[in-house]
Structure 1
Amino acid sequence: MKKKLIPLIFACILLFSGCTNGSGEKNNFNVSGNVAKTQGESRVLTLSMRVPETLNPLRNREATVDTVLKLIYQPLIAFDEAGKPSPSIAKSWSYSKDGSTLSLELRNDITWQNGSSLTADDVAFSIETIRGSADDSVYKKVLDYVSSYSKTGQYSIDIHFREPFSKSVAALNFPVVSAAYYQGQTDPKSGANMSPMGSGPYSMKSYSIASEMILTANPTYIEGKPKIETISVRTTGGAETDVYAFDQGMTDILVTDAIETGRYADEGVTGVHQFTSNQYDFIGFNFHRSLFQDRNMRQVVAYALPKKSICENVYLQYAKIAYTPVSPSSWLYEENVAPFDYDTNMATTLLKNAGWTDKNGDGRLEKENEPESLHVSILTNQENSARRQTATKLRDELTLLGFDVTLEILPFAQYQEKFTGGDYDLIVGGWQMSPVTDLYDFFGSNGSLNYIGYHDEQMDNLLLAANQAVGEGATLLAYSSLQKRIAEELPYISIAFRSKAMFVSNRVGGVIIPTEDNIFHSVNQWTFESKKE
């Protein structure tokens, strides 16, 4: 069954991520021989994707196809390297006084690859196309925020939102398609929908079904014609096939968890380009247990967690230590928060102050008139090596402090069931965060993903203020206050945001700056390294 993309364009539906394994499909690569070195293709950049159901980016449901289509289409609003909304088709924007409407001014010098101008009609048509797409299409969740639109000129449009939301502008990171070209093309497999025509750095020259797509550099691309003239995109059967193809020199690019770096560090790789992913790892508390309703006890666990050691020995330094659920690479990250770094002396002091002592000398702490012993269970899933190691390290540290600890390492389905059902004490888990993250879902009293059972009126107010802030300055200030409260309250102990790596064959050079949103962020500046061909 084809793996569908879980959209990363929205706030409320986020993936509670499990194992990091591939799809299990092997050596399904539709290539004969070494693509990069045969038939005069030494100057062809070779990529891979799954077999597409459609090549219309707004009707597409598959992640790798979406990645490749970013080479052909431009977004209405882009993200920069810090995840901050930045100009693309829209060159500027401003909010209405109540924050419910965003007025966008479009560039007037963008042309489609057939020579016609890109206008506000195309933006309006793109929103309507999203509205008519399948529920699991990549950009469908844009409509969770956008209620309507009104064209105000040939190159201007107002986007009306259902309610003021500080990250509504980030939700407009969807590709714009041509109204004239796609008008009436409702079948995802129609001629136009299988023959993409965009305004991005590349245009499609040809496509052989379930085999190969050929792209050529677009000379009218607004950021400048790409230096690499031709791209071949081959269809593959799954993630393991992508690995095989890269290992065999059949493709030039592989993106994977950065911890896998050593596997590909050979003479065939010229660069490993790391970037911070949206994969956030944490330790969560069960607030239905009275022990962890005491903030001091949550601090004890935080002081017992050796984050630096975990980053070095578990993540192999391919992660960024975090103190809040906002990425340290994000423009919204607040670094001046209470850290509660590893300090067993502070942990011991807090335990003594709370009345926990080893009265009988058995190495376990007891508390007078306390019906609940200092016993905790730590839950994690067996498929994820980093979580298993983190849970084991935390168990060892808490045991040294006098806790009686049980470690529950379960298959993902059972692990997820226990977490969502509140059947645990501590959990080592992770979320695939969205560029449009609504943190209320995690920590708000009525949050849909608040499986830990956390309730705090001040936090609720800060969460709502962060959601409703309008404008860059107000949003930064609101998220700063929110993160300080999260770090102080410790509903989660933030561990890290994992790194991804883009491995590049030794034929490719230039300015390579992949981002979580778009690994081809700087593709028009990529080159071939002639000395290595």
Structure 2
Amino acid sequence: MLKRTTLLPLILAAALTGCGNDSPENSVDYTPEGTKSYGGVYVSASIGEPSNLIPWLAGDAASSEVTAHIYNSLIKYDKNLEFEADLAQSWDVSEDGLTLTFHLQPDAKWSDGTPFTAHDVMATYKTITDPNTRTPYAQKYTIVKEAKVLDDHAFRVTYAEPFAPALASWAQLAILPKHKLDEAEDINTAELVQTPLGTGPYKLQKWKRGQEIQLIANPDSFEGRPNITLLRNRLITDLDAQFLALRKGEIDNMGLKPIQYERLTNKDSFTDRFAKYRYMGRLYVYMGFNLKHDLFKDKHVRQALSFATPRETIINGILMGHGVASFGPFVPETWAENPNLKPYPQDFAKAKELLADAGWKDTDGDGILDKDGKPFQFTVVTNQGNDQRIKTAEIMQQAFKKVGVDMKIRVQEWATFIENPIHKRDFDAVMLGWSLPVEPDPYDVWHSSKTGPREFNFVGYNNPRVDELITKARQTFDQAERQKYLWEFQEILHDEQPYLFLFSPNSLVAIHRRVKGVEPAPAGIGYNFEDWYIPESQRLYNADMIVQ
């Protein structure tokens, strides 16, 4: 499901290969723009089911893809990644940058008809900062010195010291209804987890667990009624099956694997029905080490594995050139990325030298290094349905074997993967991806205070200088000074290699041509989803055929 721009760091899934016959509907002419009108059904697919429909309790893409259509924040990003109004129709920033005053939309309502007010914002703020709320995002809001309701339509926050990502943090926070929060004894198990109530353009119609989620247009949205009446997000965990469904016209979009984009989607039978889009994604894929594991406590071992990693082979082979090698946690070629650093080149000799210096030798001649009688053997875990990551792991497995390291690969269903290896820290290494927010703020993933349960520093990284640099970067509004701190932070990561940063892939998307109003922009695709429409003459089915 394509969604409006979201800013939380999310674990992402890639769209992968498949095959199948074209649908009989390929004889329809989808070139006319038609007349914009309300109605129609848009169908997407996900490889994972949402874990939680309270956005800031979840940390996965499947949840975000749904909740982005249901909830609003105080402000949001426009197509050019500049702030614009959302639940706040305007805002003021004090001269010293420490106070933000939000002037709220007077006509916004919750989808049950209850008026939206500043008391909802305050209730959301109090809930996310409650120590009993299991969220990885709280720290952005606990640093607020004072939050105050000025009147029903004005909300003010004051910080004790500069906080550069302040405005961005309020673009990240989905606002929840006070009257529902008041009813909840425990937000972690509240009704909103399963039955969201928002101010956004869509509201939950039905959740058929293990099958699909349906969202129906909110006719009373303060943003205006969206054109497409019903969104269906189908659970199709096998991406071969997703591609087959796309070819049959059973879903309207998916992310394409590079080989599909290059070789399987160029015939007229496909391009007559689907438009293809390519743009730089705001994410990176990595292998993260459990730094409490004895194997990975020595940075020279991690450096050795980075030298053994064939990044260019992965990019040219698996990505077919649709991506770049990554070396840090920022969007490539942006002001925060340190241009003086480069990805580790593949160098087997250097990898072997570092491993030998760390005491790893093949004493029994079996081709696997050992130390103190134990072989260098570990398992990397990744998620089912993500062929791109699985194939990357397979290439790395063969490369590591050449330097005497035995890496096993385990693939798990998405929910199990998130709950056990990630939340329970039960892993040697994981292969995952992070989406990247517009505002560079590595605190949640890299600060040593964020290693607790369900927080994002699940590899257990701890470096006092990194903590200091991340904090200093947050505490200045001067971009040049922030850049200095963030560049040094990247230099430390580059040396210590707590992650093997692998690549930042391009987004390769196919969308059915019957869907009109798609306008690619720096924000990507989907930022203006509510303006998309399906001309009546090109609809495959209408909402009243689906909703029961």
TM-score by length of 1: 0.64
SS across alignment from 2:303 = helix
1:301 and 2:300 are equivalent in the alignment? no
Find the aligned partners of 2:462 and 2:181 in 1 and give their Cα distance.
Answer: 49
Match of residue 480 from structure 1: 487
Find the aligned partners of 1:208 and 1:372 in 2 and give their Cα distance.
Answer: 57
CA gap 1:471/1:246 in 2 versus in 1, 3 angstroms: farther
CA gap 1:239/1:231 in 2 versus in 1, 3 angstroms: farther
Matched letter for residue 454 of structure 1: Y
Find the aligned partners of 2:411 and 2:335 in 1 and give their Cα distance.
Answer: 36
CA gap 1:136/1:501 in 2 versus in 1, 3 angstroms: farther
Question: Which segments of 5 or more consecutive residues in structure 1 lack a partner in the other structure?
Answer: 22-33, 51-56, 115-120
Match of residue 253 from structure 2: 254
SS across alignment from 1:169 = helix
Matched letter for residue 380 of structure 2: L
Find the aligned partners of 1:419 and 1:292 in 2 and give their Cα distance.
Answer: 17
CA gap 1:152/1:91 in 2 versus in 1, 3 angstroms: same
Match of residue 496 from structure 2: 489
- Kindly state the Cα deviation for residue 305 of structure 1 after the two structures are TM-superposed: 0.6
- Kindly state the Cα deviation for residue 76 of structure 1 after the two structures are TM-superposed: 3.7
- Kindly state the Cα deviation for residue 489 of structure 1 after the two structures are TM-superposed: 1.8
Count of aligned pairs: 468
CA gap 1:250/1:345 in 2 versus in 1, 3 angstroms: closer
1:78 and 2:76 are equivalent in the alignment? yes
Match of residue 520 from structure 1: 526
Find the aligned partners of 1:112 and 1:415 in 2 and give their Cα distance.
Answer: 39
Find the aligned partners of 2:424 and 2:205 in 1 and give their Cα distance.
Answer: 45
Q: Is the 8 A contact 1:388 1:409 kept in 2?
A: no
- Kindly state the Cα deviation for residue 322 of structure 1 after the two structures are TM-superposed: 1.8
Match of residue 388 from structure 2: 386
1:457 and 2:464 are equivalent in the alignment? yes
Q: Which moved more, 1:167-176 or 1:388-397?
A: 167-176
Write the deviation string for residues 222-259 of structure 1: whole angstroms up to 9, x where unpaired. xxx9xxx98222243624499888655577x5254655
Matches within 5 A, 1:124-523: 124=118, 127-128=121-122, 130=124, 148-150=146-148, 158-161=156-159, 165-173=163-171, 231-236=227-232, 238-240=234-236, 247=247, 249=249, 253-256=252-255, 261-262=260-261, 266-277=270-281, 279-328=283-332, 332-351=336-355, 363-365=367-369, 371=372, 375-381=376-382, 383=384, 384-401=386-403, 403-412=404-413, 413=416, 417-418=420-421, 425-431=428-434, 439-448=442-451, 449-470=456-477, 472-507=479-514, 512-513=519-520, 519-522=525-528
Find the aligned partners of 1:325 and 1:175 in 2 and give their Cα distance.
Answer: 22
Match of residue 42 from structure 2: 48
TM-score by length of 2: 0.62
- Kindly state the Cα deviation for residue 326 of structure 1 after the two structures are TM-superposed: 2.4
SS across alignment from 2:304 = helix
Q: Which moved more, 1:459-468 or 1:426-435?
A: 426-435
The answer to which structure, 1 or 2, has the higher relative contact order (CA under 8 A, 6+ apart) is 2
- Kindly state the Cα deviation for residue 481 of structure 1 after the two structures are TM-superposed: 2.4
Match of residue 187 from structure 2: none
Q: Is the 8 A contact 1:287 1:454 kept in 2?
A: yes
Find the aligned partners of 1:456 and 1:393 in 2 and give their Cα distance.
Answer: 31
Q: Is the 8 A contact 2:381 2:410 kept in 1?
A: yes
Write the deviation string for residues 371-399 of structure 1: whole angstroms up to 9, x where unpaired. 26561313223614333322222221122
Find the aligned partners of 2:400 and 2:204 in 1 and give their Cα distance.
Answer: 58
Matched letter for residue 253 of structure 2: L
Q: Is the 8 A contact 1:283 1:427 kept in 2?
A: yes
Q: Is the 8 A contact 1:276 1:515 kept in 2?
A: no
Find the aligned partners of 2:65 and 2:179 in 1 and give their Cα distance.
Answer: 25
- Kindly state the Cα deviation for residue 271 of structure 1 after the two structures are TM-superposed: 2.4
CA gap 1:41/1:299 in 2 versus in 1, 3 angstroms: same
Task: Tell me the percent identity.
Answer: 16
SS across alignment from 1:381 = strand
RMSD: 5.8
SS across alignment from 2:166 = coil
CA gap 1:381/1:20 in 2 versus in 1, 3 angstroms: farther
